[in-house]
Amino acid sequence: MIYTAHPSRPTADDAAPHFTYADYCESADVLASRTQDFCPEALLILGSGLGFLGDRVEEAIFVDYGSIPHFRPSTAPGHKGRFVFGTLRGKRVAVMQGRMHCYEGYTMEQAAYAVRVVRLLGAKTLFVTNAAGCVNTDWSAGELMLINDHIKLFDFGPLYGPNLEEFGTRFPDMTTVYTPRLQSIARETAKAQNIPLREGVYMYFPGPQFETPAEVRAARILGADAVGMSTVPETIAAAHCGMEVMGVTLLANMAAGVLPQPLSGAEVNAAAEASAPVFSEFILSCLESL
Ligand code: HPA
């Protein structure tokens, strides 16, 4: 059998087409017409366990990803695959109930597609959450970590391909991708609510298999505090188009090899469910303080 690359992945000779600015505009126009020109202040991309926040949106308008041109459905378990537009704690938001992960077969460009579309609708802030494995052995599973930086060594990034100048520059600065102003808001909010909040570096792994213990040790040596399979595509795209970003991780489990036991998706889901009341209140309070 002759090997052919997965059709949705870019290859070295770049057979896969990239999105054009017109594609993003077409998606944004459809959303604008379906939402009576709703202009969100913030985009919320909610990871495992927090999707229910979308159901708290007031005056909600739901739009399924499958009905928007150029969008792909989200196939991850527990991800509904739709936008919710409306207000949360008095702020106009677009909530993604379900995100696209590269492990579903998407390129980083596809995984980050929605960010640019919602930027075109007016959003200037991205709140992104995820569940991840805890690499830092001084910390415990179940804690929350404010992301202050990330490491992405694998795979092409979401900006791979022709640069779309309408969104940003060819070589965007990554020095303060996780906006210091929003980090301050997160710290103050955590303090006011008595929520212990760790701060650290999120390292991206493509998944869907969990990391090996050796990969986790390597991540620790490189300076990572958490390992996970999401967030970085969306964050890079958001930073490129000038959005402020706050990223918060639920340290759902100790990463592979830290404890003498295997990891499972069920453990991650249980941790996500257990953290949901505190995690959601924290995110809502941060949003309120914007
Ligand atoms: N590794 C990667 N992704 C994850 C993990 C992990 O240990 N836990 C939850 N998401």
Burial of 131 (0-12, 13-18, 19+ CB in 10 A): buried
List beta partners, residue 149. 201
The domain limits of the chain are 20-288
Q: How far apart are CA 284 and CA 273, in angstroms?
A: 17
Determine if ligand 1 sits within 6 Å of the CB of residue 263: yes
Tens of pLDDT, residue by residue over 2-50, are: 444 444 454 444 556 899 999 999 999 999 999 999 999 999 998 877 8
Q: How far apart are CA 88 and CA 274, in angstroms?
A: 22
218 Cβ contact list (under 8 Å, min separation 6):
none
User: Is pTM, for the whole model, over 0.85?
Assistant: yes
Q: How many CB atoms lie within 10 A of CB 103?
A: 16
What is the rounded end-to-end Cα distance, in angstroms, of the chain? Answer: 55
Would you state the pLDDT for residue 121?
97
Instruction: State which ligand 1 atom lies nearest to the alpha carbon of 263.
Output: 7
Would you state the pLDDT for residue 78?
60
> Could you give the angle at the alpha carbon of 94 between the alpha carbons of 88 and 96, nearest 5°?
110
Determine if ligand 1 sits within 6 Å of the CB of residue 132: yes
Would you state the pLDDT for residue 16?
62
Determine if ligand 1 sits within 6 Å of the CB of residue 131: yes
Would you state the pLDDT for residue 79?
61
Determine if ligand 1 sits within 6 Å of the CB of residue 268: yes
Q: Probe ligand 1: pick from 253, 258, 264, 267, max atoms within 8 Å of CB?
A: 253
Q: How far apart are CA 249 and CA 226, in angstroms?
A: 8
In percent, the amount of the chain with pLDDT more than 90 equals 74
Phi, psi of 2 (to 5 degrees): -85, 130
**Looking at domain 20-288, what is its CATH homologous superfamily?**
Nucleoside phosphorylase domain (3.40.50.1580)
Determine if ligand 1 sits within 6 Å of the CB of residue 227: yes
Instruction: State which ligand 1 atom lies nearest to the alpha carbon of 133.
Output: 7
Compute mean pLDDT per 10 residues along the chain, 290 residues long, and list them: 47 66 96 95 89 88 93 69 94 93 91 97 97 96 96 90 96 96 97 95 96 97 97 97 96 93 88 89 93
Q: How far apart are CA 42 and CA 36, in angstroms?
A: 17
